[in-house]
Amino acid sequence: MSFGGQTPTIVVLKEGTDTSQGRGQTISNINACIAVQDTLRPTLGPMGSDVLVVDPNGKATISNDGATILGLLDVVHPAARILVDISKSQDAEVGDGTSSVTILAGELMREAKQFVEENVPVETIIKGYRKALRLAISYIKEIAVTIDKSDPEKFRGLLQRCAATAMSSKIVNANSEFFTKMVVDAVMTLDQDDLNIKLIGIKKVLGGSIEDTLFVDGTAFKKTFSYAGFEQQPKKFEDPKIVCLDVELELKAEKDNAEVRVDTVSDYQAVVDAEWKIILDKLEAIEATGAQVVLSKLPIGDLATQFFADRDIFCAGRVSNEDMNRVLAAVGGQLQSTTSDIHEEHLGTCKHFEERQVGGERFNLFTGCPKASTCTLILRGGSEQFIAEVERSLHDAIMVVKRAVKNNVVVAGGGACEMAVSKYLRETSKTIRGKEQLIIAAFARALEVIPRQLCENAGFDSIDVLNLLRMKQYQGDVWAGVDFSTGSVGNNYERFVWEPSLVKTNALQAATEAACIVLSVDETIKNEESAPPPQGMPMPR
C-alpha cells in the first residue's frame, strides 16, 4: 500500500539508539583494540615495566600481569572487551602469556587494518588468518622438543627451567632461584593424575623479607577466632588424631520473639539443663573418639573451648572451606556432620602438629602428612601490593609447571618460537596464490611484535636485533631469540629459556580468534541508556 507515492518510514529501534556500520565501524573497533594493546606493550618481558592501577575506592595495585591489569581497567568499548576476555581465558587455561596474547591480537588487527582500508573483503582476511594459524600450530608441533620423563632428576630440571622462564618477567625475577625450587616442590606434592592446584594454599603475612617465605609440606592456616581458654590448650602434638567437623559447638541465644512458658522454677531449670546436655553430649562424644585436634567449619564457643582445654585437646572453629578441604586432603579422614557416629576410620593424622608464630600472625601447621597431596606457601614481604604481586607471579609459574608436567613438550622463549614460525609462514606464503599470500605474510609480520617489543622494553635497538634474528633463522638456527644478557641474539634453547609449547599454541589460537571476531563485526547497535526519573518522581513499577 502506498501513501501519496512515498514509502512510509518504519521505526524498528527505539529513538536515540546509536547505530554505526560499514568499513568505518570495523576500523573504529580495530583502533580500540590497538589502544588496549598499547597499554600492555611496556609490560612484556623480563625488562618490562609495571603498571600502577588505582580503583575508584583508592586501592592501588602494582602489576605487570596482563590479565590482572586488564581486569582492573574499566574497558567500556565492546570490541576492546574481547581482548580482556582472551587475556582472562589464557590465564585460566595456561596461567602465563596473558600479555603476549593481547599484544599478538592487537598486532594481527593492526596488520588487517590496511587490508580493510583497501576494501579487501573481511571474509578473505579471516580465511587467510585461519589458514596461517593452522600452518603455525602444525609447525610449532613439528619443532617442539619432547623431554624424557623417565629420569626424575632431568625432568625436575626441565620444570625448574620452565618456572624460571615464567618468573623472568615478574617481580620475583631477582629471587627466581629461591622460588623455582619452591614452585616445583609445590606442584610435585600434588596428585599427579589430576594436579588440582586448589590444594596449593597461598597465605600472605606482612613483614620480613621475600626470602622469609615458608614452604609447608602439608597444610597451614591462620589461627581462627578463639574464646577464653584457648591459650590453655596444648599447641604441639606428635602423631595426633584429627577430627574434622561441620558441627556448631556453642550455646545459641534464643531467636527473636521466641517464647517459652513455664509454670515453675524447676521447669525453667529443665529447659536450661536440656540445652547444656545437648552440647555436653556432643563434646563427650568427640572426646571419646580419642582425637587430640578438633577442627570445625562452624563456631566452637567458649564452653567447648574450655572443655577441650581441660582435657588437653586443641580446637579451632570457623575454619574456611578451602582450608578444611586442604586439611582433609593432607591428613585423611572424612568431614563429619554429626558427633554421634564417629569411628576410627573417620579420623585423620599427621606426624607433627604445631601452632607457630609467623611474623605478626599465628599459624596452625600440619606436617608429615600420610597423603602428602597438598602444600602451603606462606608469603612474606614489606607491603601488601608487593606480596599480592608475588602471589600472582607464583600462580603463573605454578600453572606453567603444571602444564609442563601434563604436556612435557617445550619450545624456546625470548621471541625464538615466534621468529621461527614467522620465517616458516613467510616461506609458505610464497607458494600460495592470490590475496591469501599477502594475508599470511601479514600474519608472519605480526608475530615479530613479540621479539620487537622485548627489545624495546629492554632498551635494545629492535631493528638491529630483528635483522640478526632473521639472519640466524634463515641460517637454520630455529631457536635463535633475544639474549638479554648481551643485548644481542643467542640460542635460547641451549640457554634453557624454555616454555611449554601449550603457552604458544593457546596464545596464537586465542589471539587469532579474537582478531577474526572483531574483523567480522561491521555494525554496532548501542541502546540508549534509560535516563533516571526527575527528582521527586517515583520510579515506575
At 359-387, the pLDDT tens digits run 888 999 999 888 778 899 999 988 888 88
Q: What is the mean pLDDT of residues 64-86?
A: 85
**pLDDT of residue 537 exceeding 60:** no
**pLDDT of residue 269 exceeding 70:** yes
153 burial level (CB within 10 Å; 0-12, 13-18, 19+): exposed
E strands within 250-351?
293-296, 314-316, 335-336, 348-349
- Supply the pLDDT for residue 107: 94
- 424-445 confidence digits (pLDDT tens): 999 999 998 888 899 999 999 9
**DSSP result, 101-149:** HHHHHHHHHHHHHHHHHTT--HHHHHHHHHHHHHHHHHHHHHH-EEPPS
The cell numbers describing 398, all together, are: 605454578
Q: What is the mean pLDDT of residues 279-288?
A: 90
The cell numbers describing 97, all together, are: 602469556
* Cα–Cα separations (whole angstroms), residue 395 to 58, 167, 214, 377, 406: 25, 10, 16, 11, 17
16 confidence band (pLDDT: 50, 70, 90): very low
The single-letter code of the amino acid at 297 is K
Average confidence score pLDDT of the chain: 85
- Supply the pLDDT for residue 10: 56
Say which range, 212-221, 265-274, 342-351, 405-414, has the weakest mean pLDDT. Answer: 265-274
CA 179 from chain centre, in angstroms, equals 17
CA dihedral 363, 369, 374, 378 (to 10 degrees): 30
Q: What is the mean pLDDT of residues 334-360?
A: 89
- Supply the pLDDT for residue 1: 46
Class assignment of domain 18-145+416-493+501-526?
mainly alpha
Q: Are 470 and 445 in contact (CB under 8 A)?
A: no
Q: What is the mean pLDDT of residues 337-364?
A: 89
Give the number of C-alpha atoms closer than 13 A to the C-alpha of residue 158, restricted to the C-beta side.
Answer: 25
Q: What is the mean pLDDT of residues 159-173?
A: 83
**pLDDT of residue 526 exceeding 70:** no
CA dihedral 222, 323, 365, 240 (to 10 degrees): 130
Nearest residue to 22 (alpha-carbon basis) of 454, 433, 524, 527: 524
What is the percentage of the chain residues whose pLDDT exceeds 70?
Answer: 91
- Supply the pLDDT for residue 21: 61
251 burial level (CB within 10 Å; 0-12, 13-18, 19+): middle
**pLDDT of residue 7 exceeding 60:** no
The residue count of the chain comes to: 541
The DSSP letter of residue 201 is: E
Q: Round to whole Å and give the CA distance between 187 and 199.
A: 10
- 452-483 confidence digits (pLDDT tens): 999 998 888 889 999 999 999 999 899 999 98
529 backbone dihedrals φ, ψ, rounded to 5°: -70, 140
What is the percentage of the chain residues whose pLDDT exceeds 90?
Answer: 31
Nearest residue to 139 (alpha-carbon basis) of 511, 501, 514: 501
Domain residue limits, the chain:
18-145+416-493+501-526, 148-211+380-407, 219-371
The cell numbers describing 472, all together, are: 640466524
22 confidence band (pLDDT: 50, 70, 90): low
β partners of residue 230: none
The cell numbers describing 496, all together, are: 634453557
How many CB atoms neighbour CB 235 within 10 A? Answer: 14
Q: Round to whole Å and give the CA distance between 109 and 443.
A: 10
CA 64 from chain centre, in angstroms, equals 14
Region of residue 318 (left: phi > 0; alpha: psi -120 to 50; beta: else)? left
Q: Round to whole Å and give the CA distance between 257 and 249.
A: 23
Structural fold of domain 219-371: GroEL (3.50.7)
- Supply the pLDDT for residue 470: 92
193 confidence band (pLDDT: 50, 70, 90): confident
114 compared with 261, residue with greater pLDDT: 114
18-145+416-493+501-526 and 219-371 in the same fold: no
How many CB atoms neighbour CB 117 within 10 A? Answer: 12
What is 148-211+380-407's CATH superfamily? TCP-1-like chaperonin intermediate domain (3.30.260.10)
Q: Round to whole Å and give the CA distance between 178 and 185.
A: 12
Q: What is the pTM of this model?
A: 0.79
Q: What is the mean pLDDT of residues 77-101?
A: 86
Q: Round to whole Å and give the CA distance between 528 and 315.
A: 58
Number of separate helices (H) and strands (E) present in the chain: 16, 21
**pLDDT of residue 98 exceeding 90:** no
Q: Are 51 and 43 in contact (CB under 8 A)?
A: yes
Q: Are 479 and 494 in contact (CB under 8 A)?
A: yes
251 confidence band (pLDDT: 50, 70, 90): confident
**pLDDT of residue 149 exceeding 60:** yes
The cell numbers describing 451, all together, are: 621479539
The single-letter code of the amino acid at 277 is K
Q: What is the mean pLDDT of residues 379-399?
A: 87
Q: Round to whole Å and give the CA distance between 346 and 254.
A: 33
177 compared with 377, residue with greater pLDDT: 377
Contacts (Cβ under 8 Å, ≥6 apart) of 402: 95, 187, 195, 197
Q: Round to whole Å and give the CA distance between 99 and 65.
A: 7
- Supply the pLDDT for residue 252: 67
Q: Give the SS3 label for residue 299.
A: coil
How many CB atoms neighbour CB 310 within 10 A? Answer: 11
**pLDDT of residue 132 exceeding 60:** yes
How many CB atoms neighbour CB 38 within 10 A? Answer: 11
Say which range, 57-61, 83-87, 238-242, 440-444, has the weakest mean pLDDT. Answer: 57-61
- Supply the pLDDT for residue 379: 92
Q: What is the mean pLDDT of residues 184-197?
A: 85
